[in-house]
Amino acid sequence: MKAFTKDFNTGKTIEVEIPDENLEALQALTQDRVSDTKLQSYIDNLDLPADAKALIASILKTAVRVGEMVIRIGKKIVEIVIMIVSKFPNATFGLVLGLIVGALVTSIPLIGGLLGAFVLPIAAAFGLATGYMDDLRDNSLAKKVAEASAMFQPLKSDANVVS
């Protein structure tokens, strides 16, 4: 079965051949867990600049057509991110804090460029790990991330640019 999507950078259509045995799992991806209205309301209430909200809105529009099915992959990704952020605030906060510290180091004149390449990923990883350890006490973050990743496995295949 063929799946199609558009590359946002080039506008070209990408075609992927997906095995037919993944049809049932793909049909499950077409089911919405959260209504569009509720998701948009959540995004509107985020304490983010309008540009960030517009970026999230553009991600929401990303879709993949598989045969006659349309899988709103962008919406699924945003749903997962919102679920993880709301259920695992310590890991999220730790990651954001680590990214901010890394960005501050990167912005230091003269040495920021040299140190930033090393400090940014290390600070982000340390912040995430610290927050993750707090959230890990109930062991559900790893399960949720694994479930979310497994949900998209039926789409795995080699991609070809069609037009």
Q: Looking at the predicted structure, is the pLDDT value of residue 163 above 60?
A: no
pLDDT at position 140, please? 65
Edge-to-edge, what's the strand order for the sheet holding 13-17? Answer: 69-71, 64-66, 2-6, 13-17, 159-161
Whether the predicted model's global pTM rises above the 0.85 cut: no
Distance of CA 66 to the CA centre of its chain: 20
pLDDT at position 155, please? 67
How would residue 8 be classed by pLDDT, with cut points 50, 70 and 90? Answer: low
pLDDT at position 56, please? 82
Largest CA distance in the chain: 55
Q: What is the pLDDT of residues 100-158, one digit of tens each?
A: 888 888 888 777 777 878 888 888 888 888 887 777 666 666 677 777 777 777 766 66
**Average pLDDT estimate for 70-74:** 83
| Number of domain units in the chain | 1
Q: Looking at the predicted structure, is the pLDDT value of residue 50 above 60?
A: yes
pLDDT at position 141, please? 63
How would residue 161 be classed by pLDDT, with cut points 50, 70 and 90? Answer: low
Question: Phi/psi class of residue 67: alpha, beta or left (left: φ > 0; alpha: ψ in -120 to 50)?
Answer: left
| Domain hosting residue 97, numbered range | 2-159
Q: From CA 126, how far away is CA 27, in angstroms rounded?
A: 38
Q: What percent of the chain has pLDDT over 90?
A: 0
**Mean pLDDT, rounded, of the chain:** 78
